[in-house]
Amino acid sequence: MASKHDVLTQEEFDTFYTNPWIWKKLKEFAHGKGSIKVLDYGCGRGRSVLNLLKNGFDAYGVDVDVNVMKNGYALF
């Protein structure tokens, strides 16, 4: 498994999944509201943000370590 210090690859992202409980809560919250904005505070390389974007959410990520965030930029 890659670490946060490795560049996020498409192959790694393809095996990533968001916790089902989180999906359930986000869908409950978004129901009937149209597009909602989601902030992933401590996003690391942005796997969750990318997954949310691909599923129609208006998602953003922030992390205190900019170098770690840069490791996910290629897929965005």
Task: Determine the Cα–Cα distance for residues 30 and 42; give it in Å rounded to an integer.
Answer: 22
Question: pLDDT value at position 31?
Answer: 84
Question: pLDDT value at position 34?
Answer: 75
The domain ranges of the chain are 37-76
pLDDT category at 52 given cuts 50, 70, 90 is: very high
DSSP states of 22-62 as a string?
HHHHHHHHHTTT-S-EEEEET-TT-HHHHHHHHTT-EEEEE
Tens of pLDDT along 8-45?
999 999 999 889 999 899 989 888 787 789 999 999 99
